[in-house]
Structure 1
Amino acid sequence: MKLTSIIHTMLCFLLAGTVAVAQKAEAPDFRYDTGAKINDMTLTQGGTMVVATNDGLVGIKPGSNDLLFNFTDYGRVKPEELSFIPFAPYVVVAQGGFAGISSKKAVIDYISGKKLFSTEDNGWKMATTVEVYMPQNKLIVAGQRKAKEKYASQVAMYDLNTGAEDFRFNLVDPGKVTMKSFTVTGRPLLLKDRVLVPTSQGVLSKTHNGDTQWDNKLKNVHWMVANESETDIYAFVTNPNKTNTKIYKLGSNNGQELWKDEAKVKGVVTNFEILPQGLAVVSNTYNEGKSVLAGRSESKIAMLSATNGEDLWDKAPKTKGYVQHFYIMDDGILFGIQQGGINKISYDGKTLFKKPLKTGENILTMAETEQGLIYITSSDANIVNMKTGETVWKKPLKYKRADAISSTFDTKNNRYLISADEQLYAIDAASGNVEEFAKTKFEGKESPTGVDVRNGGILLTSDQNLTMLDWDGKETWHGYYKAPGKSAFGAILAGVTAVASAAGSMAAANSSIRNRIAKYDATADREAELAGGLAAASGASVAEMLKRFKATAATANAQFILTKLDDGVGLVKINKDTGAKEKEIVLKDKKPEYQVDDRGGILYYKADNNTIFAYDLTK
């Protein structure tokens, strides 16, 4: 297997190839016998190591040698049978069944170790829908009950703080003879005082005790969203070949359609924002393999009237590609295209930039700075006046399409630092002047994947290299630790690329969060916002996860590198400020499988097929 290094704002962990034979390793601080062959190890956002084995699922939290949990109800668990809920302490196990429908499902709180739900324990023969809702901390399940309930098709809601059932109801009376199919066709919408369930025969509105409020005949809805006051419901139906999506507006009191005709957009809706000015919609068309008459594969952007669903713009902005960034601003919508290009359009459909800004492909970063909008792509970077679209830097920074790009802001010297194509560039924030600050040719055919402004200078890092530069760009020290075998490290796009991804992930977990642009190089602010979204939820496990998000990484001042030591292959702990080697952990395997929890300061090492060692890296 290839060894890959993944740098993330929340967790920093390293993966390597699978160990076939046990080797003698340094004595661990904690040792865990999983009781069966290990198939996969996943370090969760909450800090628990979840291990899929031939017998089931195991949870590990250092502090004792005991397992946190050992879920063996379903036997062997494959990695693809696990779904970790973003920004929530839950993992869903789905197994068995056919045509993508799992007959057995369970929800485990991987921080407390409790099994909160399973189809078997709760009387379900088959669950077609198992959806977690945050920050409400609820679970909605739909499917078929067991024989003693006449295989009734039902929907239920459970409290994830306790696992208790809140309510359950039939989609159709089990004794009723009908030729109609009653199935849940999409994700239910959980509101403050009701649950809206889309089915093959229409949408049902149920109170939180299961009483019916209303139902309508709008069939096969895939998903729904409500405005902030929950008075208006928008329902989406995409046709089977994904060429168009119909949007309906429903009244929350009676479920009636409020528009004379449904709105229709091309492709699949990927972003939908309810704004005072109207409904902003992004949809993607996928016409690959079809005739040229089918049109381009690209994103469409539209602004619809919330009153009648009609298109408010005479002319939609051209994208000529897929929308990679989409932000709601005070004066309009700012968007960036994956194939290159940035533009801004007012809410009444007028282009706010004098002309669309041309950029390189793959916009890694779009973020707000005091000077304007900074963008960084795989081949260029600049700052743009957000009112006019004009570039701020006198000359755009251009480089070859780089395998690894990273950047940060040097507050001490008021400059942007961007590493690309074996060169560290410094851009003065006040003047926009670009300087080739330092050459960064790393050993082992690596390129810097991280730029970190430290108290004593600027640190450039990769998997096997570290270099400290002084404030003038001169090297003060360098460390290279050769990979134990042939290096198979993948290219990494690091640095502030997480500005967009962090906000996007949170928006996916909590639909109430508006898609707004982030401040550049504001890691603490971004993490506080993520933690703030989680803080709206209740429960001990959520509180523990929130505490982890807010904590400073235990190993923030160290980098861990796999290399060949005097006594065999192992991990070295390098001080980021001095370059000194502070710790060695001998693993001896030539291709060890291990993960580093940078935030918790723990190294997990697969010592043999059944055993995991944990080492405290803070000592």
Structure 2
Amino acid sequence: MNNLKLLLILFCTQIVFAQRAEQPDQTYNLGASINEMTLTVGGVLVVATNDGLVGINPETNSPVFTFNNFGKLTPEETLFVEDSPYIIVSQGANSKLAGITKTKRAVINYVSGKVIFNSEDDNWNQIYTCNIILPDNKLVVSGIQKTGTKAEKMTPKVAVYNLSNQQLDFSFFLDKPGRVGVAKDFSVTGVPLLLKDFLIIPTAQGLIAKSHSGQDLWTTKIKGINWMVSDKTEQEIYGFETTVNGKNTRIHKIGADGKALWQDDRKVKGIVSNFEILPQGIAVVSNKSDGGDKSVFSQKNESEIAFLSASTGEDLWEKAPKTKGYVQHFYVQEDGILFGIQQGGINKISFNGETLFKKPLKTGENIMVMANSPQGLIYITSEDANIVNLKTGDQVWDKPLKYKNSLSVASTFDSANNRYLIAADGTIFSIDANSGDAQEFSKVKFEEKEEPNEMEMRNGNIYLASSQNMMVLDKDGNQVYHQYYKSPSKSGFMKVLSGVVAVASTAMTMAHSYQAGLNKTRYGSANNLDNYNDFGKENKRAADMFASIADQSFKIMSQRFKATAATENSQFILTKLDDGVGLVKVNKDTGKVDKEIVLKDKKPEYHVDEIAGVLFYKANKDTIYAYKL
């Protein structure tokens, strides 16, 4: 009898664990205090500890890599290369004595777990630049390498490594070792441009072009170039130079032979944030900032749009369009350039500089959506929505849908009933796709004063969600269910690190200007207007992009984005459970909890991989738990 009771107790305990899933699927004791956790685009959790970096793949029992070579690293010393499995680790770069003291770099492939470059292993004493070039899958390093003769050990050098096989492709000196004469500064000032047959290096002496064997091809006196991009033929190269005060950008154009293709460089006000080479000319968006300067002579905080002649660099537009704010959306179309301003307003300009809209379209601030629809361009801002004719700018709906300014606006298209549904300020509006007639469809009241930030059609019903609330309405607006899960804490800041892993940001910052330009020439234009409700397009784009690179780690990442996301049918919510704070997995269609994970921590630090369905939780100062959701 006692044995039977024991068996029942064990059986019940197993049921509780199966339902509550309090026992982690994997436990990782890292042996050092955890400082930061980063969930990568490849699904590996990279943890910064007091000893270095650790990579955690929930499919393996032990960390996929441990990198303690450089000791403790700050966030500024760890760069996650966008759309790749690579981390560039730096030390000494920010030192005031950089160039005198030793600088170190390493490149880690967090998917394979391999350290594929370590400057110390290859005897690099100083590193000027360390850049990964995609989709070539190459690493370009410049600096001082302590190998060879005494003269060679003092001469700046460039090396190109193949990241797939971890082998050196080629290297060369930027100056002749042991050259007699006045000392010249050959430090590399920007990102080198790797082309099919040669490499262009921006240095303090100017641009230097070398063949892959190190043969001198040509030099120019163009100095201070930060980044470069070529056209598809690799015969025309554009170089971008930020002026000394950092407020303007000079654009240079040269040929593959190094000769200037423009008589003079072209200056644009502000820092270039978007750039595209088109058959009709060169489209440039630059952002101006007064830097807090209160002087009446200071620059306005706004964007400028210029369209330059590819042959001369002259502005093809007699009068640049007024923006009166920062360009939030920028799309290239067959007949011209369409743009939306963060402070409100949409306009379209032909390649000849003519306004295609009868007049600039006035909109609310923060344009959350600009997309193609069968009826025209649909836009949704924090305070209004409408569809307009993309040729003329005329309103398709008689008047825009207006609502109280809302930080969160959710929308979807109900194809079965041919209507748009927009949730804002506690109300769902239904807009007939043909007539544009709008009406209040249903009222929505979420607990904790939340607003829906997610909306989708599911089996003819309407699904809405926020951080702590989930709701389903039928096609007539009647509530099917409303589930609310109380937030763990209403006071103070809870260090929550969860969120959907973004494949690529839609807004390009100056820090990524080079990568943005590279992506546009190598992967195709990034300035295409998407179709409304085009679910999965970004994931497919990422999967195809990763698959195009001949490397096993990229193939693994491609398969990850081809898989069905774990959040397709479930919502993950952090809430206060009976036994403490925990995460619940809730079915979107029924509102029922499929799994609970009790964390017993009032302020948990965690990441949720919403693609693979994995919870990473910092269990204590040096331990990570991984749960399969």
- Please list every run of 5 or more consecutive structure 1 residues that lacks an aligned counterpart in the other structure: 1-23
Is 1:455 matched up with 2:459? Answer: yes
The equivalent residue for 1:34 is 30
| Partner deviation per Cα, 1:309-355 (whole Å, 9 max, x = no partner) | 11212111111111111111000011111111110000111100000
1:510 counterpart letter in structure 2 = N
Of 225, 233, 236 in structure 2, the residue corresponding to residue 232 of structure 1 is 236
2:280 counterpart letter in structure 1 = Q
| Partner deviation per Cα, 1:476-534 (whole Å, 9 max, x = no partner) | 111111122226689x9xx99x9994486994672323111111111222322232233
- Cα distance, 1:109 vs structure 2: 0.5
The equivalent residue for 1:4 is none
Is 1:416 matched up with 2:420? Answer: yes
3-state SS of 1:533 partner: helix
Is 1:83 matched up with 2:79? Answer: yes
- Cα distance, 1:100 vs structure 2: 9.7
Are the structure 2 counterparts of residues 429 and 392 from structure 1 closer, same or farther at C-alpha, using a change threshold of 3 Å? same
2:602 counterpart letter in structure 1 = K
- Cα distance, 1:170 vs structure 2: 1.4
Distance 1:346 1:508 in 2: 22
Distance 1:328 1:179 in 2: 47
The equivalent residue for 2:350 is 346
The equivalent residue for 1:323 is 327
3-state SS of 1:222 partner: strand
- Cα distance, 1:290 vs structure 2: 4.9
- Cα distance, 1:84 vs structure 2: 1.0
Are the structure 2 counterparts of residues 341 and 100 from structure 1 closer, same or farther at C-alpha, using a change threshold of 3 Å? farther
1:69 counterpart letter in structure 2 = F
Distance 2:38 2:247 in 1: 37
Distance 1:437 1:81 in 2: 51
Is 1:574 matched up with 2:586? Answer: yes
2:259 counterpart letter in structure 1 = Q
**Aligned 8 A contact 1:408 1:418 in 2:** yes
Higher mean C-alpha displacement, 364-373 vs 350-359: 364-373
Of 298, 306, 326 in structure 2, the residue corresponding to residue 302 of structure 1 is 306
Are the structure 2 counterparts of residues 509 and 47 from structure 1 closer, same or farther at C-alpha, using a change threshold of 3 Å? farther
**Aligned 8 A contact 1:50 1:59 in 2:** yes
3-state SS of 2:132 partner: strand
Distance 2:488 2:504 in 1: 35
**Aligned 8 A contact 1:314 1:349 in 2:** yes
3-state SS of 2:359 partner: coil
Distance 2:488 2:249 in 1: 52
The equivalent residue for 2:626 is 614
- Cα distance, 1:442 vs structure 2: 0.6
Is 1:142 matched up with 2:139? Answer: no
Are the structure 2 counterparts of residues 262 and 502 from structure 1 closer, same or farther at C-alpha, using a change threshold of 3 Å? closer
Q: 1 or 2 for the larger relative contact order (CA 8 Å, sep ≥6)?
A: 1
Are the structure 2 counterparts of residues 594 and 583 from structure 1 closer, same or farther at C-alpha, using a change threshold of 3 Å? same
3-state SS of 1:265 partner: strand
Distance 1:453 1:362 in 2: 25
- Cα distance, 1:299 vs structure 2: 1.4
- Cα distance, 1:96 vs structure 2: 2.8
Higher mean C-alpha displacement, 537-546 vs 228-237: 228-237
1:365 counterpart letter in structure 2 = V
**Aligned 8 A contact 1:25 1:587 in 2:** no
Are the structure 2 counterparts of residues 89 and 359 from structure 1 closer, same or farther at C-alpha, using a change threshold of 3 Å? same
Sequence identity of aligned pairs in percent? 56
3-state SS of 1:383 partner: strand
Is 1:276 matched up with 2:279? Answer: yes
- Cα distance, 1:44 vs structure 2: 0.5
Higher mean C-alpha displacement, 411-420 vs 312-321: 411-420
| Partner deviation per Cα, 1:524-549 (whole Å, 9 max, x = no partner) | 22322232233321100000001111
Alignment of 1:391-410 (within 5 A): 391-410=395-414
Are the structure 2 counterparts of residues 62 and 314 from structure 1 closer, same or farther at C-alpha, using a change threshold of 3 Å? same
Structure whose CA Rg is larger = 2
| Partner deviation per Cα, 1:84-122 (whole Å, 9 max, x = no partner) | 111111111112341496822111101000001111112
The equivalent residue for 2:538 is 526
Of 56, 62, 69 in structure 1, the residue corresponding to residue 52 of structure 2 is 56
Alignment of 1:249-264 (within 5 A): 249-252=253-256, 254-264=257-267
**Aligned 8 A contact 1:300 1:319 in 2:** yes
**Aligned 8 A contact 2:191 2:201 in 1:** yes
**Aligned 8 A contact 1:270 1:284 in 2:** yes
**Aligned 8 A contact 2:83 2:504 in 1:** no
Are the structure 2 counterparts of residues 238 and 227 from structure 1 closer, same or farther at C-alpha, using a change threshold of 3 Å? same
Distance 1:30 1:199 in 2: 49
- Cα distance, 1:197 vs structure 2: 0.8
The equivalent residue for 1:132 is 132
TM-score when normalising by structure 2: 0.89
Of 176, 182, 189 in structure 1, the residue corresponding to residue 186 of structure 2 is 182
Distance 1:500 1:614 in 2: 25
- Cα distance, 1:296 vs structure 2: 2.5
| Partner deviation per Cα, 1:385-439 (whole Å, 9 max, x = no partner) | 1000111112211122212122222222222222211112222212111121211
Is 1:373 matched up with 2:408? Answer: no
Are the structure 2 counterparts of residues 503 and 219 from structure 1 closer, same or farther at C-alpha, using a change threshold of 3 Å? closer
The equivalent residue for 2:174 is 171
Are the structure 2 counterparts of residues 580 and 415 from structure 1 closer, same or farther at C-alpha, using a change threshold of 3 Å? same
| Partner deviation per Cα, 1:56-103 (whole Å, 9 max, x = no partner) | 111111223211111110111223321111111111111234149682
- Cα distance, 1:173 vs structure 2: 2.6
TM-score when normalising by structure 1: 0.91
1:63 counterpart letter in structure 2 = E
Are the structure 2 counterparts of residues 100 and 466 from structure 1 closer, same or farther at C-alpha, using a change threshold of 3 Å? farther
**Aligned 8 A contact 1:418 1:425 in 2:** yes
Of 529, 532, 538 in structure 2, the residue corresponding to residue 517 of structure 1 is 529
Are the structure 2 counterparts of residues 538 and 608 from structure 1 closer, same or farther at C-alpha, using a change threshold of 3 Å? same
The equivalent residue for 1:43 is 39
Distance 1:32 1:152 in 2: 45
The equivalent residue for 2:555 is 543
Distance 1:243 1:72 in 2: 39
Distance 2:299 2:104 in 1: 42
Are the structure 2 counterparts of residues 105 and 67 from structure 1 closer, same or farther at C-alpha, using a change threshold of 3 Å? same
Higher mean C-alpha displacement, 458-467 vs 562-571: 562-571
2:557 counterpart letter in structure 1 = M
| Partner deviation per Cα, 1:361-403 (whole Å, 9 max, x = no partner) | 1111111111111111121111111000111112211122212
1:145 counterpart letter in structure 2 = Q
3-state SS of 1:510 partner: helix
State the Cα RMSD in Å. 2.4
Distance 2:378 2:68 in 1: 50
- Cα distance, 1:574 vs structure 2: 0.8
2:403 counterpart letter in structure 1 = Y
3-state SS of 2:185 partner: coil
The equivalent residue for 1:192 is 196
Distance 2:153 2:588 in 1: 64
1:189 counterpart letter in structure 2 = L
2:591 counterpart letter in structure 1 = G
3-state SS of 2:520 partner: coil
2:278 counterpart letter in structure 1 = L
Higher mean C-alpha displacement, 521-530 vs 37-46: 521-530
3-state SS of 1:614 partner: strand
Are the structure 2 counterparts of residues 298 and 511 from structure 1 closer, same or farther at C-alpha, using a change threshold of 3 Å? same
**Aligned 8 A contact 1:383 1:392 in 2:** yes
3-state SS of 2:446 partner: coil
| Partner deviation per Cα, 1:429-485 (whole Å, 9 max, x = no partner) | 121111212111111222212112111511111111111111111111111111222
**Aligned 8 A contact 1:365 1:499 in 2:** no
Distance 2:549 2:517 in 1: 16
Is 1:109 matched up with 2:112? Answer: no
**Aligned 8 A contact 1:502 1:526 in 2:** no
